[in-house]
Amino acid sequence: MDTQLGTLDGEKSTARIKSYRPIVKWWLVVGVIMIIGQIVIGGITRLTGSGLSITKWEIVTGTLPPLNEADWNTEFDHYKATPQYAKINEGMSLSEFKFIYFWEYFHRLWARLMGFVFAIPFVIFWRKGWLDRPLMKRLGITVLLAAVVASFGWIMVASGLVERPWVNAYKLTMHLSLACILYSYLLWTVFKVFQPEPVGFPHRVLKTWAKVLTGITALQIILGGIMSGAKAGLFYPTWPDMNGKWVPEVLTKSEMWNVENLVNYDATLFQPALIQFLHRGTAYLLTIIALYFVWKLLKTTKSQLIRRASYLLVSMLITQVVLGILTVINSVGIIPVGLGVLHQAGAIFLLSAVLFIDYQLLRE
């Protein structure tokens, strides 16, 4: 084994490695950044109503966009056969179609580009012997996760090509959640290669609180995905109340609490009201727990790394709360693309701060 190669899991060996080569480390960082980019592009695609503009999943031939007017008209004709065109965009011009086509095409092209950025250096590093077995295993799992995310992306798109003019909110949330799992797994791998052996943290109670914080953060992202997919922000664009009520009236009616209203969420106000109410409530809970956790953490540790991470967590939390409020109160008739995308990106950065603290506290 190359003398400059490191191990991910702190395995004891006479051939023990101090660290991975810098080019390997930064290759993984580029992968993390590209996943963030993909999530952001996905947010723009969703908020501009572009996600259903390409009606086929062509992994190879879909790499090239329409190259002439005839090709553009063919793609437009495919889109005209969708419920979204018939129910929402009937009469759309070809130039307007090209705009929404661009974002969906860019979203898919970025995913393909990530594949090349991963595969080509991987083969080079593997042939040179710069990747050890633990890292190879994690990279293999990363590839599998990426394939699952891509496959579910098409399942999500297909859900909007039959009856609904939009993709199914729950399938969209599953796609986003899987993307976040992929991101988290690769980010954790980056932590491992940059900091193979973090200093131990013996405080058992704070470790428990760190797990709770992580769970609530994950729940909030899931609720945010459902809220986004159901466009729930459009129905209650006020804060701190919800159209003048602290609890929407539709939630106080027992007859509205049934599975049908959750499945066919665009038929009544029940699901949008419930999801936004839960999303707001979870945001308050997350804020309280995070602030308490950071307060206890700062009182307990003298580690400058953990303290800086704690300050970052609080900064991202406050930013995310402000972005969430601004997005909701500006969702009058249409969800603002800029604020919506910033709010989605903010969730990823907040998750990153939580995971970094987890790595410092929970990694043995």
Extract the tokens encoding 151.
């496959």
Q: To which residue do tokens 């990279």 refer?
A: 139
Q: What share of the chain is helix, strand, coil (3-state, %, to 5)?
A: 70, 0, 30
Give the domain ranges of the chain.
1-197, 199-364
Whole-angstrom distance, CA of residue 308 vs CA of residue 162: 49
Q: What is the pLDDT of residue 18?
A: 52
Question: Angle at which helices 69-80 and 94-128 pack, to 10 degrees?
Answer: 100
Residues β-bridged to residue 242: 245
What are the pLDDT tens digits along the chain (364 aa)? 444 444 554 444 334 445 889 999 999 999 999 999 999 999 999 999 898 888 888 776 678 889 899 999 999 999 998 898 988 889 999 999 999 999 999 999 999 999 999 999 999 999 999 999 999 999 999 999 999 999 988 888 888 888 778 889 999 999 999 999 999 999 999 999 998 887 777 788 889 999 999 999 999 999 999 999 899 999 999 999 999 999 999 999 999 999 999 999 988 999 999 999 999 999 999 999 999 999 999 999 888 999 999 999 999 999 999 999 999 999 998 999 999 999 999 999 999 999 999 999 887 5
pTM: 0.91
Q: What is the pLDDT of residue 52?
A: 86
Whole-angstrom distance, CA of residue 62 vs CA of residue 59: 6
Q: What does each C-alpha distance from 189 to 173, 288, 321, 352, 359 come to in angstroms?
A: 24, 29, 28, 12, 10
Q: To which residue do tokens 């599953």 refer?
A: 174
Q: What is the pLDDT of residue 4?
A: 46
Instruction: Fill in the amino acid letter for 235.
Output: F
Whole-angstrom distance, CA of residue 54 vs CA of residue 51: 7
SS3 245: strand
Burial environment of residue 329 by CB neighbours within 10 A (0 to 12, 13 to 18, 19 or more): middle
DSSP state of 93: -
Q: What is the pLDDT of residue 60?
A: 65
Contact in structure between 32 and 94 (CB atoms under 8 Å): no
Residue 2 CB coordination number (10 Å): 14
Q: What is the pLDDT of residue 161?
A: 80
